[in-house]
Amino acid sequence: MSPQPVLALVACAAPPVLRIGELIQLLQDEGWTVCLTATPTAATWIGRDVLARQTGYPVRVEWRKPGEPEPHPPATALAVVPATFNVINKWAQGINDTLALGILNEALGAGIPVYAFPNVKPQLAAHPSYGRHVRLLQEAAVDVTPLPTELDWRTVATELRRAAPEFRMG
């Protein structure tokens, strides 16, 4: 029997984060262990205690202190859902000013599949830096798939199935 795959899920402050528990449940039903990290703003929008009970792991927002143990197991894959304009641009530039960005930056060198599901207004997506930064992340092997307008978490689950084909899922 294969071990259960571990998804490091990074959640940003865009409207779909209000339903992140639904995505977590879908992924758990498909066999993932889900460990959630939220951006500081997203953390104020979600029920961290409820999501910690759902996943069995604390929802991380802040850096751990030196010597403190890592509260999440090593990830098999990483997904940032929803990925905001701000996070995409900062991530592509290597800015590491929040735990969420630190996890995203480290994932690029971790040798695991990395997925981004942007939820960006058309006006922001038209900004000249956004397209360049998306392409830069794609060149770094990030699979970028915009969230559908009519939010359907199955899009995310389908993409993530490709991350761990050796695991029996669903």
Q: Tell me the CATH number at 143.
A: 3.40.50.1950
In the beta sheet, which residues pair with residue 78?
8, 114
Nearest 5°: CA angle at 70, between 18 and 107? 65
Domain containing residue 123: 6-161
- In angstroms, rounded to a whole number, what is the distance separating the alpha carbons of residues 91 and 53? 29
Per-10-residue mean pLDDT of the chain, 170 residues long, equals 84 97 96 97 98 98 95 96 98 97 97 96 96 98 88 89 64
- Residue 24 inside a domain? The answer is yes
Task: Check residue 159 and give its pLDDT.
Answer: 87
Domain count, the chain: 1
- Give the pLDDT of residue 49: 98
- Quick check: is 54 in a domain? yes
pLDDT on residue 168: 47
CA distances for 143 relative to 1, 146, 149, 150, angstroms: 28, 10, 18, 20
pTM of the entire structure? Answer: 0.94
pLDDT at residue number 1: 44
Per-residue pLDDT at 2: 54
Q: Is 166 within the bounds of a domain?
A: no
For residue 169, is it within any domain? no
For residue 167, is it within any domain?
no
C-beta of residue 157 within 8 angstroms of C-beta of residue 26: yes
